[in-house]
């Protein structure tokens, strides 16, 4: 079994270089966060690494303090692309909680998700 995984990794590295690099980079990001202890200290570096790995239009990392009414951006890449604060009780945040994972938000007006949410709840 271990040998099979090694072969698959070698094939990925050879034929799917971008995917392999993205997965490797994201693993390094996760390890860096665990080692840092304070997420806000490494947030800018994490956002930049995610942007490098996945090439999205932008990356924003949000944080929510228990007593706060909204999520606020602690880092964005490219710099200056941070969304405004998102209400902790918004439908978008509820959907993210329900899915239990990061989401890709379409930038175009015609996206299905954007059509499902009230305009005041869209970042």
Q: What is the 3-state secondary structure (H, E, C) of the chain?
A: CHHHHHHHHHHHHHHCHHHHHHHHHHHHHHHHHHHHCCHHHHHHHHHHHHHHHHCCCCEEEEECCCCCCEEEEEEEECCCCCCCCEECCCHHHHHHHHHCCCCCCCCCCCCHHHHHCCHHHCC
> Structurally, how many domains does the chain consist of?
1
Domain that holds residue 93: 2-106+113-121
Instruction: Pick left, alpha or beta for residue 100 (phi over 0 → left; psi -120 to 50 → alpha; otherwise beta).
Output: left
Question: 0.85 cut: is pTM over it?
Answer: no
**Mind listing the pLDDT tens digit of every residue in the chain (123 residues)?**
667 777 776 766 665 555 556 677 777 877 877 787 777 788 888 888 888 777 788 888 888 998 999 999 999 988 888 888 888 988 888 888 888 877 777 666 667 777 777 776 666
């Amino acid at each position: 079994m271990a040998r099979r995984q090694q072969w698959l990794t070698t094939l990925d590295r050879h034929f799917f270089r971008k995917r392999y690099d993205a997965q490797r980079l994201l693993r390094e990001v996760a390890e860096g966060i665990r080692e840092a202890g304070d997420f806000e200290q490494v947030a800018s570096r994490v956002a930049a690494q995610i942007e490098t790995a996945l090439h999205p239009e932008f990356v924003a990392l949000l944080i929510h303090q228990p007593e706060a009414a909204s999520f606020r951006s602690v880092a964005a890449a490219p710099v200056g692309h941070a969304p405004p604060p998102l209400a902790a009780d918004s439908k978008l945040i509820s959907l993210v909680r329900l899915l239990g994972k990061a989401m890709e938000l379409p930038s175009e007006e015609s996206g299905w998700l954007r059509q499902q949410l009230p305009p005041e709840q869209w970042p």
